[in-house]
Structure 1
């Protein structure tokens, strides 16, 4: 690997990037048999930045593929033990100043990957993202700030150093964002950079910001440390528990959960082994003098950042722990969300202060859930989308497990010869495919359908969704954005012709509801009635890319609930009328040029009377080919004919299911529960004969 600004030396699995005019260089850096064929590189100068890999674009595309197949093998994640092992090599000070380093395991990435600068917390070692390096390294160019243990650089000097790097990289790539991932004190540093550089496109991801330092118990620690002679070995187990958790407490929790005793004993043994090997590392990482200095640094950083919050325009994501024993992070996240102009907030109720070092936290997944990954000035929901991993799919499926179990969905599809079969064998394997169907009440058919398709056919169906799913508001008028995280993980995009164009051009499987919110929030007595616009909106777009159109119907909402208070009733009550107008005005207005009922897209929540649960039924009709019809469907009449054909097929699918479900002996939940009690809880419940 060559560096444009220097020389790269390899020795025994080590690598070091340094300037030609550098004189004193430490040659011992991070060798670990736990990560074979991995190395780390270090830029030794304050001004030097890590050299970028000069592999060919072809090599990068072969190594990193955002659109990799679903259910691909997962990366091996590092652990808290790796953090302590690698920290040993950072503790030995070479007398140098703070510097950037970049793990070589992050070397192969997208050609236009944005820069990610990690700003560490109170430890200063710069390994706070070690559990996330492999995943993040595919889509970011990652540089981590290392502050040596004995370094006493002031906060303002640290600020100037990072600021120089940010401004230099902005000059090199002015059209790409720069990500600042800050942990605790590093979050204060990121906020200060953003306040001083509002003209630079920055994305801040802040874990438990130390802006709450003055409202924490930490200021009381300094007098105690000053009055305590010698080193603080008696505090080290407490510091370890903050970083790595409590092994004994975790073992007791496992016992209470009924996990096997041998597993609990093994985890307890491993936990105490990690504790015994890590305490000497902590003693060197946070000696008494360094800890005193870090408390002063925290005080300065918090005051500086708080005084400039009003100037911050950067897109910001706050990650707050509910069990942070060092800082009141949960309350601070709420405060910053209300103060910062472009801010989203995510809570992790069971996490501690060192959030990014917890096994249960996946930073890439959080970035996906919040749609915070972008390579340009704005997030492109099509090209910036990253396919879900196997673990993410499992999490989404598990979150809907109870609903899928209660609805016990029946799936039917149609083969090319017109044969109706149970299951999804009739769904086309190759895209582009456009699924067009009926939107049940509140969209309750979505989760069972999308999860079944991804599990049975390994196909990700990307939904064209209402903009409310991607919106947030300071006053809490809109739904919590976190409630739609699974939609974003699974690739939903806002309604827009450009998004449909990009998805079809990339041969995706796309889900479209022409009736939109008008169908999903229908009135009393309107179940299974289509509210489609007069224009053949999607037909010519499908034909442009030769997409197959799959009409489908879904029934079952009337066996789960009935609308008893609808839009017309709510508009007669002043309070609800005001709330509807407020919600509707807070979201993007759709189909302003449309006429008729489909244009009535007011946001409201109808009153629904629950029923004793029935069952969901889905029927995917025979795919309609548009390949080779691009020119033919330019004619409005021809396009309208196909549009009406698709609509008629959807209505036929609904009518077929309504008729056939009458002969299903397991339509009611009680016979289904009895069947699974005798055949096993995971057994598939039968249905009507086709």
Structure 2
């Protein structure tokens, strides 16, 4: 659902925004020209008064908030499009979908530029999730509108300039789907001084190499009575109907129930495809193909002028456009371009199951509310749907294989199962041992989110936030997932700001040297000599919780470490190349911890054992003012924390020998026989 607001052209989108945006669910409209429509609906006086009163209200997002992802489906797109395509004689205009609701305070503007359909509802599956993080406005191009490309470009450009003039420090996001991608690229080329973030979904800048080119003379000659078959052919060319139908099937259903729901969804969807004949009638389709030709030609002659931040979302099975090849071309042609490749998806990527646009944006650290990204202030907590996908689907087998045992220590010194010993209020600094390649991370995040609804902010090596080694066929990765769940570059300033905000921070003093250790170095701590974090923790009265973890030697064996690799000339040169391009840290410290050479260890899997975690007794620094005054006292506490972690590791290594279900075989037999998710373990 949406409202269109036809008013005189001088009103910019932001001019109306203060009056209309907070109608629950929030709606804002921004016209770009006159219209004489009689079917437009306006909010009443009572709603307008309420909107004005609450215009500056701050909407915060709690951890694991429900973004209602998956609420809408392709059928909702067809229903909404059928309403909006009624001829009203009006020009192209902006609307704000009702489903978007009220965004968080300071949210940037997101303008959606549609594909060939022109309805503006191409984001309908993403309205609810995007609406919490952005002020979303969508461009509607009426079905009988015959504006030239340069007219549509001028219309979008005018709105972008108005918004930039009113909020010069905020970025403006342009999400361009197919034809809309050409509009976004053209606006960026003509306005290099405006801070734009382009998200191009299978952009039609590749139309010159499209298999649709020969369709034009055929469509022109096609009799009107045969045109009803075109929507069916077009819909199957645009995407996989099964994946579209899956978008409305809830995650986590048993296989048989999921199959039944898919069958119902697909049965309901297929007859509705005839609606495309009304959304894109023959004359409109012919016009849009001509429009695509001129748009593609215009954009390709101006790619060199684009300075904006660009993200290309490319499908590997796009039957309408060569989107995979176009991703290669844009990635090499544009100065600041990244790609995420969906090899199994079709042209209508935003309608398919498993694609959450906001998650993709967050995963690439492309969400910001000012000129530069603020890893602390711009962070949006993960949603319940992101939690389920990551931990209950993608990492479920890993969780089953390691069956983590998590324990904590109360202030009395008693060890209990779970996280009962962890404080509920920050600031809290979790300091521990980094297992090989960070294998311990996923269960820690899952436990804190599931049991305590606490978001951990993990301090990570800056290399993980670099796009240096990405390619034009880069798929979504574990690094993207880490960003969604709170990782940020390790630095004194980031740690300072997190503790000042009373956050829960995960810190590994051993860093990459510990996570990429050599053979025989498992469970060995590599810490700097100087107490890097203690005085800062004490400054904010932080509760420090040391923790130990064991289990890496029960799941894999390190067979090809850094020392082995540097003896091979090709691998040695490769390692040097990677490390020269990445940000160097701890170059000013002495000892083995300064040897932070990044590389990929060679490992062999073992029959899985079990992971064991023990969080030690919380150490309160609120009353330790002497730490701030005397470096010796800070050093003593630093040594105490390190010794505590070594003791926790030693305790776990000793106690795991008492666990009858340490191996996966007896553990699986027990869990199957008793019908439980986790077998018991040793008594603390």
Q: What TM-score does the superposition give when structure 2 sets the normalisation length?
A: 0.89
Alignment partner for residue 554 of structure 1, among 545, 549, 566?
549
Alignment partner, residue 32 of structure 2: 45
Query: Do the aligned partners of residues 165 and 638 (structure 1) sit closer, same or farther apart at CA in structure 2, a change above 3 Å counting?
Result: same
Deviation at 1:555, TM superposition (A): 1.1
Give the conservation status (yes or no) of the 8 Å contact 1:60–1:110.
no
Unpaired segments of 5 or more residues in structure 1? 1-11, 23-35
User: Which deviates the most, 76-85 or 656-665?
Assistant: 76-85
Q: 2:528 aligns with which of 530, 533, 549?
A: 533
Secondary structure (helix, strand or coil) at the match of 1:366 reads helix
Cα deviation, residue 634, structure 1: 3.6
1:124 to 109, 118, 122: 118
The CA deviation at 1:55 is: 6.8
Tell me if 1:468 matches 2:463: yes
User: Which residue, 316, 319, 328 being the options, matches 1:322?
Assistant: 316
**Match of 1:170?**
164
Partner residue in 2 for 1:420: 415
* Deviation by residue 1:380-402 (Cα, 9 ceiling, x = unmatched): 11111111111100111022211
Q: Does 1:156 align with 2:143?
A: no
For 2:105, the equivalent position in structure 1 comes to 111
Matches within 5 A, 1:168-207: 168-207=162-201
Q: Distance in 2 between matches of 1:516 and 1:42?
A: 49
CA offsets 1:603-624 (integer angstroms, 9 cap, x no match): 1123334433322111110000
- In the alignment, is the contact (CA less than 8 A) between 1:108 and 1:138 conserved in 2? yes
Provide, for residues 327-378 of structure 1, a one-character-per-residue CA deviation record: whole Å limited to 9, x for no partner: 1222322332222221221122332211222343221111111111100111
Contact 1:518 1:531 in 2 (8 A): yes
Instruction: Say whether residues 1:383 and 2:372 are aligned partners.
Output: no
Asked if the contact 1:551/1:621 (under 8 Å) is kept, the reply is yes
Q: Distance in 2 between matches of 1:585 and 1:54?
A: 59
User: Higher mean Cα deviation, 479-488 or 412-421?
Assistant: 479-488
**Pair 1:212-2:206 in alignment:** yes
Aligned to 2:8: 19
Residue range with higher mean Cα deviation, 486-495 or 358-367: 358-367
SS at match of 2:494: helix
Alpha-carbon shift at residue 260 of structure 1 (Å): 7.4
Equivalent in the alignment of 1:222: 216
User: How much does 1:592 deviate?
Assistant: 1.5
Distance 1:248 1:380 in 2: 35
Partner of 1:351: 345
Question: Which position in structure 2 is the counterpart of 1:147?
Answer: 141
Deviation (angstroms), 1:202: 0.5
Q: Deviations over 1:588-637 (max 9, x none)?
A: 11112111111110111233344333221111100000124356424211
> What CA deviation, in whole Å up to 9, does each residue of 1:146-176 have, x standing for no partner?
1111111111221122112212211211111
Say how many residue pairs are matched.
658
Q: Distance in 2 between matches of 1:79 and 1:217?
A: 28
SS for the counterpart of 2:613 is strand
Match of 2:591 among 593, 596, 601: 596
Change over 3 Å in CA distance of 1:390–1:618 after alignment to 2: same
1:677 aligns to 2:672 (yes or no):
yes
**RMSD between aligned alpha carbons?**
3.2
CA distance in 1 between partners of 2:404 and 2:364 (Å):
29
Q: Is the 8 A contact 2:178 2:202 kept in 1?
A: yes
My pick for the range that moved more, 339-348 or 198-207, is 339-348
Measure the CA separation in 2 of the matches of 1:524 and 1:248. 45
Q: CA deviation at 1:264?
A: 5.2
Task: Give the 3 Å change call, closer, same or farther, for CA 617–165 of structure 1 in structure 2.
Answer: same
Look up the match of 1:573.
568
Q: CA deviation at 1:306?
A: 1.8
Deviation at 1:187, TM superposition (A): 0.4
Moved more, 175-184 or 651-660: 651-660
1:55 to 1:571, Cα distance in 2 relative to 1, 3 A: farther
Q: Work out whether residues 471 and 478 of structure 1, in 8 Å CA contact, stay in contact via their aligned partners in 2.
A: no
Cα distance in 2 for residues equivalent to 1:399 and 1:172: 43
Deviations 1:84-124 (A, max 9, x none): 22212321232232222223444522332111111100011
State the distance in 1 between where 2:658 and 2:10 align: 84
**Following TM superposition, by how much is the alpha carbon of 1:323 offset from its aligned partner in structure 2, in angstroms?**
2.3
The range that moved more, 302-311 or 120-129, is 302-311
CA contact (8 A) 2:188 2:306 kept: yes
Tell whether the 8 Å contact from 2:403 to 2:610 is kept in structure 1 after alignment: yes
Matched, 1:364 2:358: yes
Change (3 A) 1:262 1:410: closer
Deviations 1:189-240 (A, max 9, x none): 1111112211111100111111221222110110111221325111122234
* 3-state SS, counterpart of residue 530 of structure 1: coil
1:625 alignment partner in structure 2:
620
Which among 643, 648, 658 is matched to residue 653 of structure 1? 648
State the SS of the aligned residue for 1:372: coil
Distance in 1 (alpha carbons) for counterparts of 2:473 and 2:568: 20
In the TM superposition, what is the alpha-carbon distance from 1:178 to its structure 2 partner?
A: 0.6
Distance 1:263 1:407 in 2: 27
Indicate whether 1:448 and 2:443 are aligned.
yes
Which 5+ residue runs of structure 2 have no aligned equivalent? 12-22, 36-41
Task: Say if 1:261 and 1:610 are closer, same or farther in 2 by CA, change over 3 A.
Answer: closer
Q: Distance in 2 between matches of 1:222 and 1:588?
A: 52
Question: What is aligned with 2:20?
Answer: none
1:457 positional shift? 2.5
Residue 476 of structure 1 deviates from its aligned partner by 5.0
What's the secondary structure of 2:360's corresponding residue? helix
- Does the C-alpha gap of structure 1 residues 260 and 114 become closer, same or farther in structure 2, counting only changes over 3 Å? closer
Give the C-alpha shift of residue 15 in structure 1: 7.0
